[in-house]
Amino acid sequence: MGQEKKEESGQPSRENNSGNVASKGIVLRFVLPALALTCMAMMIVGSWFMYQSWEFLNMPPETEGKEILFTVAPGQPLWTISENLDAQGLIIDSKRFRKLAQAAGKENKVRAGEFNLWTNMTAPQVLELLTTTSGIMHKFSVREGLSWWKTAEAAQNSKLTTYADFKTAATSPELLAKYSIPAKNAEGYLFPETYLLTRPKENSGKILVETMLKEFRKAALKAWNGKLPSPKRIHEIITLASLVEKETGDATERRRIAGVFTNRLKRGYLLQADPTIIYGLGETFDGNIRKKHIKDKANPYNSYQHRGLPPGPICSPGLESIKAAINPEEHSYLYFVAKGNGAHYFSKSLEEHNRAVRKYQLRRNKTTYRSYNKTE
């Protein structure tokens, strides 16, 4: 009896031990394959995600590819841009595109404008183009001597804005005050230049006009050597420069013509410049100045009837005409008459001027004579 108790209280029986080993074996037979399957599944899923990432970065939506005009509006969020790219077939995953942009630190660097994209471009190529280029640039050329309404017509012809939107911006009190223009419109300050612009989607007239006003400010700083005078003085100079621009056919005569106008202003003479009458007649001018136009005192721009400078500029002068108005040639000339070849004959007395008028105007050869006044 005692021996049996010792055996019971000592080592476990072989039957119990073998049972535990058997149960563990059964568990291992099921757990190990399950772990293996789980690992394989994870590897497959991981490989699939890796392939998707590789595909997104390296495979374009289409192999052949077609060109698509893609537009990014000013202030458009990356979410909308990526969704639009996806909808137009330019990327294959909008969410991954956003993550790509964020990882590259370019989520806020997509530029507004129009872009020529291709469906055989990869996502990184699309992102690079949208964040490092200005897109499609539209050319807008404005020559010296245009009135604001002719500039508005040119803007409309460029399809960058409409005539109405340009006019609204050119007469905007807010813009005029912002650029210290003491007038009811931006005449004279719409700087003549060749502009390369992205097509605005909103506020097109304001964007175009403000671009020109900024360019005027740059030109004015050059003309005045970096130190601008008062807005009133600038307005006077630009008004004089606009007359010089309209009357100059030979570029070498700008300062001399400015000198003639300056001399007449000092003596209180009427300026008697045809382009001022034309400007006062406005958008309806038919191309012919008549006697009634010269005698019309109701036209505030009629320099045959009103002394001094006209109320404001009659066109947008170029930089050289502005410089000529700031620094006119010092001489004694009071008159000039067009000779028909772009140049002028300058006179110091009315008698000499009348002789020149008879020679170059009254007895002119109508088949060869050309007027170089920039009427429009």
Same-domain status, 77 and 94: yes
Residue 333: inside a domain: yes
18 belongs to a structural domain: no
The pLDDT of 14-43, averaged and rounded, is: 54
Q: Are residues 175 and 289 in the same domain?
A: no
Question: How is residue 321 written in tokens?
Answer: 């005409």
Q: Which of 197, 228, 259 is the last residue of a domain?
A: 228
Residue 261 neighbours by CB distance under 10 Å: 24
Residue 183 makes CB contacts below 8 A (sequence gap 6+) with: 176, 235, 312
Q: What angle, rounded to 10 degrees, do the helices at 123-132 and 14-58 form? A: 50
The yes-or-no verdict on residue 16 having pLDDT over 90 is no
- For 244, other C-beta atoms within 10 Å of its C-beta total 28
Q: Are residues 252 and 310 in the same domain?
A: yes
In terms of residue numbers, what domain contains 375?
229-376
Q: Is-contact 199 160, C-beta < 8 A?
A: yes
Residue 68 pLDDT grade (very low, low, confident, very high; cuts 50, 70, 90): very high
Taking CB atoms within 8 Å and a gap of at least 24, the contacts of 175-179 are 175/206, 175/209, 175/210, 175/213, 179/213, 179/216, 179/217
Q: What is the pLDDT of residues 152-184, one digit of tens each?
A: 999 999 999 999 999 999 999 999 999 999 999
> pLDDT at position 376, please?
56
> What average pLDDT score do residues 339-367 get?
86
Q: What are phi and psi of 71, to 5 degrees?
A: -115, 135
Q: Is residue 48 part of a domain?
A: no
Answer whether residue 169 is part of any domain: yes
pLDDT above 60 (res 373): no
Per-residue pLDDT band for 55 (boundaries 50, 70, 90) equals low
| CATH at residue 72 | 3.30.1490.480
Give a yes or no: residue 32 inside a domain.
no
Tokens for 47?
């490989």
Same domain, 218 and 236: no
Same domain, 176 and 124: no
Q: In whole numbers, what is the pLDDT of the chain averaged over residues?
A: 86
* Residue 42 CB neighbour total at 10 angstroms: 10
What are 74-120's pLDDT values in tens digits?
Answer: 788 999 999 999 999 999 899 999 999 999 899 999 988 899 999 99
Question: Could you read off the pLDDT of 120-142 as tens digits, one per residue?
Answer: 999 999 999 999 988 888 899 99
pLDDT score of 192 more than 60? yes
The model's pTM is 0.75
* Domain count along the chain: 3
